[in-house]
Each structure stands twice: as structure tokens, then as C-alpha cells.
Amino acid sequence: MNQKKEYYEGDFITKQLSFYVSLPEKQRRHFLAMEYERLGVGSKRYLARTFGCDRKTINKGLRELAAENYQSDYTRQRIAGGGRKKRSNDSGTD
């Protein structure tokens, strides 16, 4: 009675997975969000299981795509100023 619904069939899963792993992180989120919108309500758990991600990742992708200031610029992986800060070489001793 509690069957898992399969949205993808056969070889299509393999093609989708190979495409998914070739994408950077931000594009992966947007890909999953668009797939969720295409497949409809109830597919989030299936997508998370199939692509090995968390459902929160899909939610974040949906929020990003729905944002008013959404830009599909994938040239930068991080926002300007993001990431680890450079370590200062000023140790005070010479």
C-alpha cells in the first residue's frame, strides 16, 4: 500500500544523474528545483533519494528561483567577499 512512486524510468535516471554530477553546486540546486516544479507535489522525497541530496537543498533552490532579484549567472561560485578570509602574516616578530 505504501509504494514508492517512480518518476524516472530506465536509462533516463542514468542520464539525469550523470548530468547532475557535472553541475556546480548552485546549478544543482536550480536543476533539482526545476525538476520538482516539473514533476509536481510529492516528488521532493523521490528527487532527494534519487540524487542523494537533502530536501532542504531543493527548498533552497526553489527560494532562489522564486526571488525577485534572481539572476542565472553561474560564473561565480560564491558571492563577492564569501569564503575563507586570508590569514594575516603580521605575527609581530621579525
pLDDT at residue 51, as a whole number:
93
* Mean pLDDT value across residues 33-43: 92
pLDDT at residue 72, as a whole number:
72
C-alpha cell at 83: 569564503
pLDDT at residue 3, as a whole number:
63
Q: Where are the alpha helices (DSSP H) in 40-88?
A: 44-51, 55-66
DSSP state of 18: H
